[in-house]
Amino acid sequence: MKQTRFNYGWVILGVGFAMLALSGGIWYSFSVFFVAVLNEFGWSRSFQLLTFSIFSGTFATQAILTHQVAFFTDQGLENLFASYVVGMVGLVSIGAKIFWGILSDKIGREKTYTLGIICGVCGMALLILFHVLPVSWVPYAYAFLFGMGYSVTTTLPPIMAADFFEGKSFGAIFGSLMTFNGIGGAFGAWFAGFVYDHTETYLFVFVLTMACYSFACINVWRAAPRKVRADLNR
Mean pLDDT on 134-141: 91
Q: Delimit the domains of the chain by residue range.
A: 1-40, 43-232
The pLDDT score that the predictor gives to residue 4 is 55
pLDDT exceeds cutoff 80 at 212: yes
The pLDDT score that the predictor gives to residue 67 is 92
Q: Which of 120, 207, 192, 188 lies closest to 155 in space, CA to CA? A: 120
Which listed CATH number (3.10.129.10, 3.40.50.150, 1.20.1250.20, 3.40.50.720) goes with 43-232?
1.20.1250.20
CA–CA dist 66, 63 (Å, integer): 6
Counting residues of the chain whose pLDDT is more than 70, the rounded percentage is: 76
The pLDDT score that the predictor gives to residue 162 is 84
Please state, rounded to an integer, the average pLDDT across all residues of the chain.
Answer: 82
Mean pLDDT on 125-154: 93
Residue 213 near residue 123, CB atoms below 8 Å: no
The confidence band for 174, taking pLDDT boundaries of 50, 70 and 90, is confident
CA–CA dist 143, 119 (Å, integer): 11
The pLDDT score that the predictor gives to residue 34 is 53
CA–CA dist 117, 8 (Å, integer): 48
Q: Which residues of 8-33 are buried (b: 16+ CB within 10 A; e: fewer)?
A: eeeeeeeeeeeeeeeeeeeeeeeeeb
CA–CA dist 115, 82 (Å, integer): 26
